[in-house]
Structure 1
């Protein structure tokens, strides 16, 4: 049987670094909730069997009316961490007949610059890969490591050769990713993305060139940049 595609968008975070009381996924950018742009990009890819949004059980901000016309489902199974939300979401996909050998693309709701073209480029590059892969960008800036004495003085310069900045979506088989997260949790490993879980159990995910447009909205000043990019329309390409 042919493997199917599922999308999983963990959306249970509070966005504390954004400097706002409202979770950042519901902040308005270019006239829409930030979450809308990720949902719209996956909705435009008809090859997906289901897109699942994972929100916190006590989320009072989610309003389905703001995402009318888009194909997705919601489950209030978010956890205290990203890895818990993703793990719970993987289990919830079973409600939609997802199998262990089906693919899941996990995407940050805080990356509203994602486009259907980026999603399909990842699928095209990874669909025949034995492990899976992620979108990422080669590091262009010089990297500085600060001292460990509590100051902000430079301790040393890190070599950037061979370093890539991870983005999302990150695409893996559902069963493999569930196994990896469960093992990492059991062994006390704190995950920051899905690829690190896959690496933890000895696999080497594939890297697929991403885009600066697909940056993660994290700090207060990021909202203005995202608004400018998205307000300019899908034709704007940031390279």
Structure 2
């Protein structure tokens, strides 16, 4: 079975508060999504990375993708929601000879600090699993449920709770069927769970976070710079 990555990148990133979609915001001299895609391209086990863009996306062509040439396939079939973009991308992949049992690793465009080692751990752990699995982090903080007045209504036990991340890795046909049956989910695992299946949890770490607010860009820059310095020292 071949492994592919699918990166939905058709959103506007409205919570960042700017005019430019957050996947194109500058991060260390390149658009944020470039770092995301470079991490996926650094995993030899992934045959190709499909990038789902909005049909009217004009920003992609303004950037240089030559360093990732040969690994990327752009699909201009983005939808109104993440789930719709992933579903459209899966359908387009099927038309490009992606097989029903091939693995698809769906990854958020805004998780720019993904480490290739995390992807390799997911592939190694989930590769023989009958369902599939996701990167996630056990919840460490105390959780509070708020009432309508924004006061604490209850403390939620955190035992057994995990914070879902991406990539989320499932077989092409099963994931497409799950999303077609359950289009309102917020992640791929939710659609698989709605079929009565239980995805595997693979421990990652907090550096694989999603850039959502302006301050997150500074944190992502710090993480990526630290990795660059560490790599330079080791070489």
TM-score (norm 2): 0.94
**Alignment partners' CA distance in 1, 2:219 and 2:230:** 13
CA deviation string 1:18-48 (max 9, x = no partner) = 1111111000112211101111111112222
Displacement after TM superposition at 1:82 (Å)? 0.4
Out of 205, 213, 219, the residue aligned to residue 211 of structure 1 is: 205
Gapped runs of 5+ residues in structure 1?
Answer: none
Residue in structure 1 matched with residue 122 of structure 2 by the alignment? 122
The structural deviation recorded for 1:152 is 1.6
Distance in 2, matches of 1:232 and 1:223, equals 14
Alpha-carbon distance, 1:119 to partner: 0.7
Which residue of structure 1 lines up, in the alignment, with residue 74 of structure 2? 74
Following superposition, the deviation at residue 235 of structure 1 comes to 6.2
Which secondary structure state, in structure 1, belongs to the residue aligned with residue 34 of structure 2?
Answer: helix
- CA separation in 2, counterparts of 1:235 and 1:213? 16
1:172-214 deviations in Å (ceiling 9; x for gaps): 00000000001113xxxx2110000000011000000011110
Contact 1:9 1:52 in 2 (8 A): yes
Query: How far apart are residue 95 of structure 1 and its match?
Result: 3.8
Q: Which of these residues, 221, 225, 230, is aligned with residue 219 of structure 2? A: 225
Tell me, in whole angstroms, the C-alpha distance in 1 between the residues paired with 2:152 and 2:106: 35
Q: Displacement, 1:153?
A: 1.1
Residue aligning to 1:199 = 193
Kindly state the Cα deviation for residue 94 of structure 1 after the two structures are TM-superposed: 2.1
TM-score, with normalisation over the residues of structure 1? 0.92
**SS at the partner of 1:8?**
strand
Q: Matched residue of 1:176: which SS?
A: helix
In structure 2, relative to structure 1, the CA distance for the partners of 1:235 and 1:115 (3 Å cut) is farther
What is the CA–CA distance in structure 2 between the aligned matches of 1:64 and 1:53, rounded to whole Å?
16
**Residue correspondence of structure 1 range 37-76 to structure 2 within 5 A:** 37-63=35-61, 65-70=63-68, 71-76=71-76
* 1:129–1:235 CA distance, 2 compared to 1 (3 A): farther
Give the corresponding residue for 1:4.
Answer: 2
> How many residues are matched?
229
Q: Contact (CA 8 Å) 1:30, 1:228: kept in 2 or not?
A: no
Q: 2:24 aligns with which of 19, 23, 26?
A: 26
Post-superposition, which runs of at least 4 consecutive aligned residues in structure 1 deviate over 4 A?
Answer: 234-237
| RMSD, matched Cα | 1.4
What SS does structure 1 have at the residue aligned with 2:175?
helix
Question: Contact 1:7/1:104 (CA < 8 Å) preserved in 2?
Answer: yes
**Structure 1 pair 74/121, CA: closer, same or farther in 2 (3 Å)?**
same
How many Å separate the matches in 2 of 1:200 and 1:235? 43
Partners of 1:74 and 1:64 lie apart in 2 by 14
